[in-house]
Structure 1
Amino acid sequence: MRRPWRPLNYHAARAMFVRANELLGSNWTLHDLRHTATFLMLDDPDMPPAYVQHILGHKYLSTLEIYNRPSRDDVIAAGLAHQARRELRKSNPPPAPAAPAYNPESLSVLFGGTP
């Protein structure tokens, strides 16, 4: 809102949050935005956790574990899906793998025959 126009730096963003919090009666911080962004990035199946680690500047990938909390509904759905897959495998076992087919000409060369 003020001139001259300039990039939003940390102190200006913090001041903006202070004013918004006073109006809303809340206590959000810039760090809360960082946590929200982290949860959203980790929830994206196309975003590798190693990239999130790099964006956040964490030394260890294990630091992201505090953000990786699946919802109760996701856990229940995954458990039910796992049980359904097990039941499906019991009632429809996969066929036995076929014996490997070797090229007789290759075997002949391998064991000292002529090509």
Structure 2
Amino acid sequence: LASSWQIGIIGGSGLDDPDILEGRTERYVDTPFGKPSDALILGKIKNVDCVLLARHGRQHTIMPSNVNYQANIWALREEGCTHLLVTTACGSLREEIQPGDMVIIDQFIDSDGNSGSF
């Protein structure tokens, strides 16, 4: 089953390093929503096809309020991604969650003012 997966990775600071992929190739694309944040980096992680996209661009020049989220999602779907792994930096008011901990957020406040996604 895993061989039919293609994982899209939208990396924020720290998980947007293309060196995590074997056999990397780059593809610049355009979408009905404009250009995504950067080139799509195609490759494999342990024989699973993956597509990496640096959310803020590889040079970290795109502010969060200027990320073209719709173009990013469209580009990954058009590339054939069946699943997404999306990272972000977040904060918590819970003392038991320490800096550097990996968490899965279940409450998210979107206050960027952008239009809704799909």
TM above 0.5, one fold?
A: no
Q: Which interval holds the TM-score relative to the shorter structure?
A: under 0.3
TM normalised by structure 1 equals 0.25
More RCO (CA 8 Å, sep 6+)? 2
Larger radius of gyration: 1
